[in-house]
Amino acid sequence: MTTPVIAVDVMGGDFGPSCTVPACLSYLAQNPSLKLILVGQSAVISPLLPPSSHAVHSQLEIVDATEVVAMDDPVAVALRSKPNSSMRLSLELVRDGKANACVSAGNTGALMALARFTLKTIPGIDRPAMMCCLPTQANKGCYLLDLGANVDCSAEQLFQFAVMGSVAAEVLGVAQPKVALLNIGIENIKGNQQVKQATQLLESQNKLNYIGFVEGDGVYRGDADVVVCDGFVGNVLLKSSEGVLRLLASRLDNRFKANWLGRLKGLIMFLPMLRGLRKDFSPERYNGASFLGLQGVVIKSHGSADSTAFQTALHHAYMEVNEDLQARLSQQISLLLEDVLLQPH
């Protein structure tokens, strides 16, 4: 196998190169059979690199990008006014076969739009979806998609997401993944039109292990391996879950601070335990949403990812490249879509 190459938009995210460049160096040190292309303003990147004699230099390349997509740039600006952005050049490296994957912590909407424009979708897929893996009580992950790339979804799109999620989960190690649609009840009468029609489409095929509807709590119970919803709902689910955890942490914090006994309990007993728990949920462990359905691997890191979390995103990309996710997705999606006679536009 040739050396996998990942193009990294080092300018993205809340902390920019000061976070992403050291993360890249750490990750390279642990993975000597990998190459990274750091895409961004070389004047900013170079001072962050070790002396040129250092071992990792052979695994590194810099591609100079004069422009940066800001976190609040409208999609149109990213698409039309910044032809030399680090984000766009990273994606073009994938398109041109110079990199096997792209990782960015930048503006999600811009990344999705540029990725669609640059890489195009897999035939049969109308729109790409964002997928991440959530922890569950069943001690296995639950892959959730879409996380916000598509605010409104037709039944056909939800069906396509189910296909993509199932294939991706299988490639990532889940045997016969149980696929479900997120709904506000498990009975057939529940939900909006899109969900009701999507369940009919999914019931009419026999290639996916479709188990029906799950509710919000079913996601974390581990009722399914893949849960499908539109991007508005998925985004709210993800962010409100983060919100609940943060609320819980702040309540605990207040309790610890309430008196000396609380502080003592916190220091001796509780903090080590909480640290373990937070790790289960944290972006450090789960960071890195896959953009599924593109002709290329694209991983979105959380904007607020620290160095460890950004390395997790890099690892996601590496894993998807190693597993040849993209080619297997394309192949299996075309088979599945043919099978159910869904002719996408």
Residues near a second copy (CB under 8 A)? 72, 74-75, 109, 135-137, 148, 151-152, 182, 184-185, 187, 189-193, 215-221, 229, 231-233, 235-248, 250-252, 255, 265, 269-270, 273, 276-277, 280
Nearer to a second copy, 25 or 182 (CB): 182
> What is the nearest approach in angstroms of a second copy to the Cβ of residue 299?
20
Q: Which two tokens stand for residue 211?
A: 């188990």
- Cβ atoms within 10 Å, residue 99: 28
d(C-alpha 165, C-alpha 246), whole Å: 28
Nearer to a second copy, 3 or 254 (CB): 254
> What is the nearest approach in angstroms of a second copy to the Cβ of residue 284?
16
Nearer to a second copy, 35 or 127 (CB): 127
d(C-alpha 291, C-alpha 298), whole Å: 5
> What is the nearest approach in angstroms of a second copy to the Cβ of residue 62?
32
Nearer to a second copy, 124 or 191 (CB): 191
The SS3 assignment for 291 reads strand
Q: Residues 6 or more apart from 125 whose CB is under 8 A from it? A: 160, 164, 293, 333, 344
Nearer to a second copy, 8 or 78 (CB): 78
> What is the nearest approach in angstroms of a second copy to the Cβ of residue 247?
4
Tell me the sheet residues that pair with 212: 180
> What is the nearest approach in angstroms of a second copy to the Cβ of residue 193?
8
User: Do 7 and 53 meet the contact criterion of CB atoms below 8 Å apart?
Assistant: no
Q: What are phi and psi of 142, to 5 degrees?
A: -120, 120
> What is the nearest approach in angstroms of a second copy to the Cβ of residue 49?
34
Nearer to a second copy, 2 or 193 (CB): 193
> What is the nearest approach in angstroms of a second copy to the Cβ of residue 313?
20
Q: How far apart are the first and last CA of the chain?
A: 36
Nearer to a second copy, 96 or 152 (CB): 152
Cα–Cα distances in angstroms (integers) from residue 209 to residues 23, 168, 170, in the given order = 38, 13, 11
Q: Which two tokens stand for residue 323?
A: 């597993």
Q: If you search the block for the tokens 């939900």, which residue do you land on?
A: 191
d(C-alpha 102, C-alpha 85), whole Å: 14
